[in-house]
Amino acid sequence: MLPDLTAARTALETAQREAEEARALVETLAERVRDGAEDITGADIAAQRQLAELAGLRVTGAERKLAEAVKVDRDARCKRTVEAARALLAADSTAPILDAITAIRESVARLMAAVDSRNESIKAVGTQIAALDSELVASGAGDSLPLYRLYGGRGNAKHITVRDPDRGVLSADFLHVADLASSAVVSVLTAHPESRQMGERFPMDARAVRKVSEAVPGLADAWRCTDAEWQAMDSTGRHRAAIHGRQPLPEGAEG
């Protein structure tokens, strides 16, 4: 059975109070003698001093009991804590972490494939547009993007733009997987306590994240914070998320 620390501390406080009272009574008796009291004998003072000394010894005893109780209690807490650590390590599994990392890798691989496919399409069409522009210039059709002026299309290996009779001007730009993957990770870590370390791992300016989201149609709305996510963030997380352009839309607004 573990010692009662509260009782031990209370016993020490009681012993200290009684010892102080006993010492004070010795001084009180002595002061009465100094004032001329004749009913107090040396035996009275000696007896009170013995009581004060005994009370002092009881204080020492209470101190030792408390020290021993603290020692026993600390020993028990150390054993419990180490046992809890032992149990934790015995049951520890990185399987959920490995699953999550595998999922991240698979997601990044899908992102790479999707971006590469889109970029290749842009490159193929954009290169054809640039070549036709050159042909038109050589044929005398003009020296400033004649294909766009005559047919409504311009582009190169990393960008294409067309005029659409129904939807207006449409365009697509070459995307960078590294920017997209980094932005996705940074946008998630914004609300994490370790977000202050992001600058070391992801030296990506917060405004660059917003730029990436604006470059991909639909991305800004896809990773916009829900009201619950926003409320769960601290002020620093909200500030960073706002710079990323991920703050919730006002009620009634459409993305």
Residue with tokens 């990044």: 108
CA-CA distance, 8 to 55, in Å (whole number)?
16
pLDDT band at 144 (very low <50, low <70, confident <90, very high): confident
Q: Are 194 and 218 in contact (CB under 8 A)?
A: no
Mean pLDDT value across the chain: 89
Q: Which residue has the higher pLDDT, 209 or 170?
A: 170
Tell me the one-letter amino acid at 92.
D
pLDDT band at 163 (very low <50, low <70, confident <90, very high): very high
> Left if phi > 0, otherwise alpha if psi is -120 to 50, otherwise beta: which for 155?
left
Query: DSSP characters for 99-135?
Result: HHHHHHHHHHHHHHHHHHHHHHHHHHHHHHHHHHHHH
- Cβ-proximal residues to 175 (8 Å cutoff; 6+ apart), any chain: 115, 118, 119, 215, 216
| pLDDT for the residue 254 | 60
Distance of CA 213 to the CA centre of its chain: 23
160: phi then psi, degrees, rounded to nearest 5? -140, 145
| pLDDT for the residue 199 | 62
pLDDT band at 252 (very low <50, low <70, confident <90, very high): low
Q: Which residue has the higher pLDDT, 236 or 91?
A: 91
Any idea which of 71-85, 87-101, 104-118, 189-203 has the lowest mean pLDDT? Answer: 189-203
For residue 105, give Cα distances in angstroms to 108, 109, 119, 168, 195: 5, 6, 21, 38, 21
- Is the pTM above the cut of 0.85? no
Alpha helices in the chain (DSSP H): 5-34, 42-91, 95-138, 146-151, 177-189, 198-201, 206-215, 219-222, 227-232, 235-244
Q: Report whether pLDDT(246) > 80.
A: yes
Tens of pLDDT, residues 172-206? 999 999 989 988 888 888 777 776 666 667 777 77
Task: Please state the domain extents for the chain.
Answer: 5-91, 96-244
Q: Is the dihedral of CA 177, 183, 184, 189 positive or negative?
A: positive
- Cβ-proximal residues to 116 (8 Å cutoff; 6+ apart), any chain: 177
Tens of pLDDT, residues 44-85? 999 999 999 999 999 999 999 999 999 999 999 999 999 999
